[in-house]
Amino acid sequence: MRIVFFGTPEFAVHILEGITQSDHELVGVVTAPDRKRGRGQKLAPSPVKEFATKKSIKVLQPTNLKDQSFQNELRDLKGEIFIVVAFRMLPESVWNMPPKGTYNAHASLLPQYRGAAPINWVLINDEKHTGVTVFRLKHEIDTGDILLKESIEIESEDNAGSLHNKLMELSRKLILKALDIIPKNPEFLPQKAFQTTVPLKKAPKLHKADLIINWENSSKSVHNFIRGLSPYPGATTVFQFGSQFKTVKIYKSELTDKPSSHPGMIETDGAIYLRICCKDFQLNITELKIQGRKTMTTPEFLRGTSMEKVLVNLP
């Protein structure tokens, strides 16, 4: 089959690589325009464009997916099927173009966790299982009929980074399987067939205000919040050093049974441990990054930082 692939980040590259190694014909890639990155703010290609360019695959980078010239160029590729992984919402004039349909690999067990950040939200909500769903696109986002779906267990040590990698592997496997069975006119199931009495949870895009730790929550809730945002975009708090306020990103934590005195209170020996009080227990902080410095373990951080009279600024 002639395939056009839509994607931008590293997550999508792994699936794209799998398609290039299959028997299917990849006729083009659609990805985001080059963007300014880094300290020098130089234009840089997306990971998908970088990979496609090395493989001499035709690349389209529309700023507007409804632009007629882009759609004409896309139509000229004569793609029989479009595959979408970690890309923005497509207009109907695009997803309805290929004769065999447009398919998306979504990193959750639909209909649960529709939205842009399912990997983060399943961890924040302390789910025990997640997975990947391959479905055919329709008008409403993440609501199309399901072709394939597979579950994996979320382990207690998983964070957003490790879970991302597991779901990336599973997405590759399921997309390649989908490409093999789509020509055989497989059965699709509507998402309502998978709905239970459990309320549907959403996975909206995370904004800066969503990353702030609330120390008045339980220690388990804060711990899950940290692992759900680690290593990116990072759970944040603010340390107050006298009259100075510095943003701190916390990447790793451990639960303790040490009772809390007051939410946001810091407990430390100044050398080995740094614990912050939550609603019920103290949470042991093991890896963090203070504004203007590199990521450090707690002992490394304490060697260069006096924590005397330091306060956590509650949101």
Topology of the domain covering 2-194: Rossmann fold (3.40.50)
Distance CA 108, CA 146 (A): 12
Q: How many CB atoms lie within 10 A of CB 151?
A: 12
Nearest of 126, 88, 127, 131 to residue 111 by alpha carbon? 131
The partner residues of 252 in beta bridges, in order of sequence, read 287
| pLDDT computed for residue 89 by the predictor | 93
CATH superfamily of 208-312: Formyl transferase, C-terminal domain (3.10.25.10)
> Rounded to two decimals, what is the model's pTM?
0.94
Q: Which pLDDT value is given to residue 313?
A: 79
Cα distances (angstroms) measured from residue 255 to each of 50, 92, 264: 41, 47, 15
Within 10 angstroms of residue 24's Cβ, the number of other Cβ atoms is 18
Residue 106 CA from chain centroid, whole number = 10
Q: Check residue 169 and give its pLDDT.
A: 97
Q: Where in the chain is the domain with CATH 3.10.25.10?
A: 208-312
pLDDT average per 10 residues of sequence, the chain (315 residues): 96 96 96 87 93 97 97 98 95 97 97 97 98 95 97 98 98 97 94 92 97 97 98 96 92 98 93 96 97 95 87 81
